Amino acid sequence: MHLFRTKRHIFWLKISALHFIILHLAACAVVISAFVAYLNTDQELMAWTLIGMGACVWIGLVYRMTAGMSNCPLCHSEPMLSKECSKHSNAIRFMGSYRLSVATTTLLRHQFRCPYCGESSRCSLRIYKKG
Percent of the chain residues topping a pLDDT of 70: 97
pLDDT digits (tens, 9 = 90+) for 92-106: 777 777 888 889 989
Reported pTM: 0.85
Would you say 111 and 3 are in contact if contact means Cβ atoms under 8 Å apart? no
Would you say 80 and 16 are in contact if contact means Cβ atoms under 8 Å apart? yes
* 3-state SS, residue 124: strand
Q: How far apart are CA 41 and CA 30, in angstroms?
A: 15
DSSP code for 110: S
